[in-house]
Amino acid sequence: MHVANIKYCDIANGPGVRTSLFVSGCTHHCPGCFNAVAWDFAYGEVYTEAVREQILESLKPVYVDGLSLLGGEPMEPENQEAVLELLRRMRQEVPGKTVWCYSGYTFEQLTGQEPSRAFGAHTEELLNRIDVLVDGRFVEALKDISLRFRGSSNQRILDLPASLREGKPVLWRDDPLFETHRLI
């Protein structure tokens, strides 16, 4: 796996202060993608043990709420094994931190309910280690800069543990004052 970028103390890709890992490689190629440079699986630096340790170290301060996975596409089969190993270590070494994952694949595709190249040997365990999934491809015609934590209105913010329990998408609820109707 390659890393396109890592943002420490990021406040744009999930609630609170987060470390955001932008992996390289994406086969969606959504028109208008904000990070098209990361479509190339070889873009950026090689993901090494040292990079993983630096990410884990960045999550230790009490003011850091968690990790956000973006891309490129963290759920591409080529990226899943390395991402899974990071999440295994994270859950062990910094419990209580949240994991957000942004994916162009939908919940249905990632769980095998719909055919997808993303559904594979590591997908189920990977999903079980993620708290919130922002799913669906970016659609330029549905772009809305007023949306919280997503770029286009077709994308959903899902409570992943609840969705996995129910076997269907369950919307994430952050704040009762937040306009939940905009998540549909």
User: Comparing C-alpha atoms, which of 102, 99, 71 is closest to residue 1?
Assistant: 71
> Any idea what the Cα angle at residue 141 is, between residues 103 and 44, rounded to 5°?
40
**Which tokens is 9 given?**
């103390």
User: Comparing C-alpha atoms, which of 180, 137, 145, 176 is closest to residue 28?
Assistant: 137
* Concatenated DSSP letters of 22-76: EES--S---TT-TTGGGGSTT-SEE--HHHHHHHHHHT-STTEEEEEEESS-TTS
Write the pLDDT tens digit of every residue in 21-59: 999 999 999 999 999 999 999 999 999 999 999 999 999
Percent of the chain whose pLDDT exceeds 70: 95
Write the pLDDT tens digit of every residue in 76-126: 999 999 999 999 999 999 999 999 999 999 999 999 999 999 999 999 999
Please say if the pLDDT value at position 179 is more than 90. Answer: no
Calpha distance 83→178 (Å, rounded): 31
- Supply the pTM of this predicted model: 0.93
Q: Is the dihedral of CA 181, 14, 137, 37 positive or negative?
A: positive
Q: How much is the mean pLDDT over the chain?
A: 94
Phi-psi sector, 131: left (phi>0), alpha (psi -120 to 50), beta: alpha
Write the pLDDT tens digit of every residue in 139-166: 999 999 999 999 999 999 999 999 999 9
Q: pLDDT-based confidence at 174, cuts 50/70/90?
A: confident
DSSP, res 92: H
